A and B are shown apart, each in its own frame.
Chain A
Amino acid sequence: MLDITPKEIKPRTALRINPAKTCQPIGAMYAALGIHGCLPHSHGSQGCCSYHRMHLTRHFKEPVMASTSSFTEGSSVFGGLANLSQAINTIFTVYNPEVIAVHTTCLSEVIGDDIPNIIAKAVSEGTVPEGKFVFHANTPSFAGSHMTGFSSMVRAMVHYFSEKTGAESGQVNIIPGFVNPADMREIKRIASEMGVPALLFPDTSDVLDTPLTGKYDFYPPGGVTIKQLRTTGDSLRTLALGPFASEAAGAYLDEKCDVPCDILDLPIGIAATDRFVHALKNVAAQDVPASINYDRGRLIDVMNDMHRYTHGLKVAVFGDPDHVTSMVEFLLDLNMKPVHVVTGTPGNRFERRMTEILEGRLPDSNFSANADLFLLHQWIKNEPVDLLIGNTYGKYIARAEDLPFVRFGFPTLDRIGHQFKPHVGYTGALHLLESILNAIMDRQDRDATDETLELVM
């Protein structure tokens, strides 16, 4: 497995090998699914839509609905106006959504299709039924990553829908970032326990984690409604979780409607969750309830009791920047050593944040944005680790280097759990810690001799 990856690292300037990112539109598609009654629409070739739906489906094991402009060679020469206009008509007639969320692709971006104009034309021609909406985000695949696409689609929600009416809502916006439905559900639970009336957008809980009943809901019950999105402009505050996924929308809402925004790390691990809970406490202006303190205490209990299994172990971590940032901090808090850290998403901001977190604690750690798994593997060959943490694609490296492997982040295509176990909050941190400990303990058992096999651990 990966036998031909050399240990010696030669600089590469052009060839990307085994990426730790994908392109923008899939993030936009995922974000759009967090609006109730929304059909994401991919304005490009059929393959884009097909690949994104395939990939999201494999991660969530749930139906993922989206439509496409089905570009042909003709549309790529003459532009996609006719395709999108026809698509809007077809979609409202056949699939009857509340809203269509159009995202672009590299193809339509290079052509330069003017999406707002096409939408305006559809509205003026009466193709968009009364009370229904079409909105869009530009998501060129050749810039940023799937994180950027997610971020741009959430920003588009603010751009198209947020309004400041002056009404007092007492509500707090939470932008949860590119996390799983179980995480969104957990964020809502924490806010509710804290007594904070929170509006989450997007919100894919009850959209991509629906029950099996024998009846298929094309538009599942979850998701933020357009009506709710409108009210985000009157909220007290916005908590934007994960700067890469959520800052753009949070900052824009501040600019557009004067809603102050706190940009926080994703609440993964103890310290980042502490900061999130603290921010909620400040908003709620009331004490942290016992239930949350208990959650926190149970986490510390396991961190303390099982400390000897984690202390000093070297870890390689990769994935999306918001996830990786918080995970690295959590690993340091477990006295582990995240010696190699990679995200595929470009951005100096990630490297600045890594420097802040690692400075004084593990200053010699290797970290890089805009990097790939080929480099990570080479780093591991040069300085071996005890544990690998990342998405499913880490499986090849784990096998090649015989490493215990904890699946974390998007996509997880080959294990179950992320669909219903949160990774955010104290409970999420406990789930992560459980996975880390069990991986380490399974490895100890596997490597033990008959004489050293421990019954009690």
Chain B
Amino acid sequence: MSDSKDNTQTAGSALIPLPDPSPVLKEMLDIYPPKVARKRAKHIRVNDPHDVPEVEANVRTIPGIITQRGCCYAGCKGVVIGPIKDLVQIVHGPIGCSYYAWGTRRNLANQDPSVESYMPYCFSTDLTEDEIIFGGEKKLRAAIQEAYELFHPKAIAVFSTCPVGLIGDDVHAVARQAKADLGINVFGFSCEGYKGVSQSAGHHIANNGVFKNMVGIKEPETPFTNPFRINVLGEYNIGGDAWEIERVLTRCGIEVVATFSGNALYDQIGQSHHANLNVVMCHRSINYMAEMMETKFGIPWIKVNFIGADSMSKSLRKIAQYFDDAGLSERVEAVIAEELSALKAVREDVTRRCSGKLALCYAGGSRSHHWRELFKDIEMRLVSAGYEFAHRDDYEGSRVASSIKVDADSRNIEELAVEADPERYRPRKTQEQVAVLEENGLKLATYDGMMPDMEANAIVIDDISHHEMEKMIEFYKPDIFCSGIKDKFVIEKMGVPCKQIHSYDYGGPYAGYKGAANFYRDIDTMINSSARRFLKAPWESQPELQANFAVRPEKKKG
């Protein structure tokens, strides 16, 4: 494969099929102890988009393997709940857990002076040895009281960390009591770090808690009137993505009731049951919410992807198709035409330099699929991808969801029993309307997964290890590698630019049309940065240079 890299494609020419990567896969697994090799082999698949193979996912990482994965708490507090900006979030545990979630994800929030934003604050019960021995409930109660007296927030959320689960503090009982005493909403999340096998368990626990304690508890002061109103689920406003998405939606005449949970307000989530459609961005972290809201309130959901210009357009058209309104469709088409035309110059310019270049991408639970679309915009090829904490349906599509076996680690995560709300359940579409939509190609409540969109012979790796990452770089010698902060400088040291797609390397937004332009430019600058040209010193590559580095002036002959 490394040879073929020199024959990178020029725009418009047919793509060279990817070679069979089996030899590198064998080499990759050879180093492992036999049992580990057998397990890892199930996570690594050569793709066939027409007959997608089964990928082992959402199972334990083998102890000792250097993994990208974090914990349940990181998924719950760090990802899903963290962005809700006017919610006081107290982490019940030793100081580290709260400290590390303090301002470290780039879920931006605008600071409206009329709203109390707790984004730059970090709250913890900072448990010490005494509380670990004698119990921490008393301290938690006091902490909630102190937070209330200082800030008088609308609501307080409490997060359990590993030792809290072991010493048996009942955070839910403390929260219930505080709620009764203070007259504000107080609720807990049992998201101890050891639960599940990755952040994914925390997403699920967060979804359950938001659904039970926040969704549907608020009625709007003035009723919603725009029929084209939606919730954007699984969009965390990294680098300002949610703002760009909302800008475009607003231009089309589509109103966002709530974003889950980038830049979100507590009350927006409270009244999110008034939306007429849920659009799902990050399927992995929020699909539970989409399903529960459909069951309880009758709000259908569709999978969208606002990352990548063409995919943004496609998603807008899907929303218009759902609402089935000629005026809306017309506006959407006009906006798409205008936005694409504004993007045309930069896209063409960057494509000239980036077309045919190779990208690898391993991160998150939905991002790799989304990012593929951005690379496609500028004719780059995503030749291998994978996820850090996805489940099989994120790879293979919803069709396999029912056949995923539930193991001991997943069984411990509560599945809420949800029923239609006796008063508020209101199906947004009749069965006949749904049938027509589906006949016309709009799939409701389903996700096709990443693999059907990937090339034949592309390698899919779940929960990639450090060792496997190094091997992939050696094999493909990619032009860009997408991952997170822990891998970032390893990859850069190897002379390959690494795009962090959790933090965007502190840039962005990358969603929508303006975001796409930012991404194209950033990828262009990374691929074409000068620094790597100096990796070899002149005396290493051109020893003869030494003899003639100085030009001597001709001596005048007198």
Contact call B63/A57, Cβ cutoff below 8 A:
no
B512 within 8 A of A: no
A331 within 8 A of B: no
Interface residues contributed by chain A, number (CB under 8 Å): 81
Contact call B95/A141, Cβ cutoff below 8 A:
yes
Contact call B198/A94, Cβ cutoff below 8 A:
no
Contact call A57/B143, Cβ cutoff below 8 A:
no
B31 within 8 A of A: yes
Output the nearest chain A residue to B535 by Cβ-Cβ distance: A214
Mark contacts of B181-220 with chain A using CB atoms, 8 A cut-off: 1 yes-contact digit, 0 otherwise: 0000000000011111110000000000000000000000
Q: Which residues of B contact A212 (CB under 8 A)?
A: 492-493, 495, 531-532, 535
A303-324 residues at the B interface, CB under 8 angstroms: none
Q: Which of B32, B116, B132, B409 contacts A110 (CB 8 A)?
A: B132
Closest CB in chain A relative to B21 CB, distance in Å: 20
A83 within 8 A of B: yes
Contact call B94/A141, Cβ cutoff below 8 A:
yes
Q: Knowing A45-B193, A45-B194 are in contact, say whether A91-B104 is a contact too (CB < 8 A).
A: no
Q: Which of A15, A54, A216, A396 contacts B120 (CB 8 A)?
A: A396
Contact call B96/A16, Cβ cutoff below 8 A:
no
B62 within 8 A of A: yes
Q: Which residues of B contact A276 (CB under 8 A)?
A: none
Q: Which residues of B contact A216 (CB under 8 A)?
A: 470, 490, 493-494
Contact call B142/A13, Cβ cutoff below 8 A:
yes
Closest CB in chain B relative to A373 CB, distance in Å: 9
Mark contacts of B301-324 with chain A using CB atoms, 8 A cut-off: 1 yes-contact digit, 0 otherwise: 000000000000000000000000
Q: Knowing A110-B132, A142-B131, A396-B120 are in contact, say whether A70-B67 is a contact too (CB < 8 A).
A: yes
Q: Which residues of B contact A374 (CB under 8 A)?
A: 121
Closest CB in chain A relative to B436 CB, distance in Å: 46
Q: Which residues of A contact B466 (CB under 8 A)?
A: 65, 95
A180 within 8 A of B: no
Contact call B64/A48, Cβ cutoff below 8 A:
no
A107 to B72, CA, bound (A): 14
Q: Which residues of B contact A368 (CB under 8 A)?
A: none
Closest CB in chain A relative to B235 CB, distance in Å: 22
Closest CB in chain A relative to B425 CB, distance in Å: 35
A282 to B22, CA, bound (A): 65
Q: Which of A50, A70, A73, A141 contacts B62 (CB 8 A)?
A: A70
Q: Would you give 16 A-B contacts (Cβ < 8 Å), ordered by A?
A: A14-B146, A16-B124, A16-B125, A16-B126, A21-B99, A50-B486, A51-B97, A53-B486, A69-B64, A86-B64, A94-B467, A105-B162, A142-B131, A212-B493, A215-B494, A216-B494
A2 to B103, CA, bound (A): 13
Q: Which of A50, A87, A109 contacts B63 (CB 8 A)?
A: A87
Contact call A17/B129, Cβ cutoff below 8 A:
no
Output the nearest chain A residue to B489 by Cβ-Cβ distance: A63
Q: Which residues of B contact A23 (CB under 8 A)?
A: 94-97, 99
Contact call B493/A213, Cβ cutoff below 8 A:
yes
B325 within 8 A of A: no
Contact call A45/B143, Cβ cutoff below 8 A:
no
A69 to B60, CA, bound (A): 11
Q: Which residues of A contact B60 (CB under 8 A)?
A: 70, 72
B69 within 8 A of A: yes
A54 to B103, CA, bound (A): 13
Contact call A10/B150, Cβ cutoff below 8 A:
yes
A128 within 8 A of B: no
Q: Which residues of B contact A48 (CB under 8 A)?
A: 71, 96, 193
Q: Which residues of A contact B139 (CB under 8 A)?
A: 14
Q: Knowing A47-B71, A66-B66, A216-B490 are in contact, say whether A72-B194 is a contact too (CB < 8 A).
A: yes
Contact call B74/A51, Cβ cutoff below 8 A:
yes
* Interface-located stretch among B47-55, B163-171, B272-280, B543-551: B163-171
A72 to B131, CA, bound (A): 23
A215 to B493, CA, bound (A): 6
A57-73 residues at the B interface, CB under 8 angstroms: 57-58, 61-73
Q: Which residues of B contact A65 (CB under 8 A)?
A: 66, 466
Closest CB in chain B relative to A27 CB, distance in Å: 11
Contact call A90/B65, Cβ cutoff below 8 A:
yes
A89 to B33, CA, bound (A): 8
Q: Knowing A6-B150, A16-B95, A95-B467 are in contact, say whether A57-B493 is a contact too (CB < 8 A).
A: no
A100 to B298, CA, bound (A): 54
Contact call A142/B127, Cβ cutoff below 8 A:
yes
Q: Knowing A18-B122, A68-B67, A110-B163 are in contact, say whether A142-B198 is a contact too (CB < 8 A).
A: no
Extra contacts, 4 of them, besides A23-B96, A72-B195, A88-B64 (Cβ < 8 A), are A51-B96, A65-B466, A70-B67, A73-B194
Contact call A4/B71, Cβ cutoff below 8 A:
no
Closest CB in chain A relative to B25 CB, distance in Å: 16
B110 within 8 A of A: no
A46 to B128, CA, bound (A): 22
Contact call B96/A72, Cβ cutoff below 8 A:
no
Q: Which residues of A contact B36 (CB under 8 A)?
A: 90, 93-94
A1-36 residues at the B interface, CB under 8 angstroms: 1-4, 6, 10, 12-19, 21-23, 25-26
Q: Knowing A57-B485, A73-B195, A89-B33 are in contact, say whether A67-B493 is a contact too (CB < 8 A).
A: no
Q: Knowing A94-B31, A106-B163 are in contact, say whether A19-B486 is a contact too (CB < 8 A).
A: no
Q: Knowing A6-B150, A15-B90, A75-B194 are in contact, say whether A22-B32 is a contact too (CB < 8 A).
A: no
Q: Which residues of B contact A14 (CB under 8 A)?
A: 125, 139-143, 145-146
Mark contacts of B23-66 with chain A using CB atoms, 8 A cut-off: 1 yes-contact digit, 0 otherwise: 00000000111001000000000000000000000001111111
A76 within 8 A of B: yes
B64-87 residues at the A interface, CB under 8 angstroms: 64-74
B346 within 8 A of A: no
Q: Which residues of A contact B417 (CB under 8 A)?
A: none
Most buried by B among A3, A10, A50: A50
Contact call A45/B486, Cβ cutoff below 8 A:
no
B111 within 8 A of A: yes
Q: Which residues of B contact A63 (CB under 8 A)?
A: 489-490, 493
Q: Which residues of A contact B122 (CB under 8 A)?
A: 17-19
Closest CB in chain A relative to B200 CB, distance in Å: 12
Contact call B116/A4, Cβ cutoff below 8 A:
yes
Most buried by B among A15, A25, A70: A15
A84 within 8 A of B: yes
Closest CB in chain A relative to B154 CB, distance in Å: 13
Contact call A106/B162, Cβ cutoff below 8 A:
yes
Q: Knowing A14-B143, A16-B95, A73-B409 are in contact, say whether A22-B100 is a contact too (CB < 8 A).
A: yes
B434 within 8 A of A: no
Contact call A107/B486, Cβ cutoff below 8 A:
no
Closest CB in chain B relative to A53 CB, distance in Å: 5
Output the nearest chain A residue to B534 by Cβ-Cβ distance: A212
Contact call A90/B33, Cβ cutoff below 8 A:
yes
Q: Which residues of A contact B161 (CB under 8 A)?
A: 106
Q: Which residues of B contact A166 (CB under 8 A)?
A: none
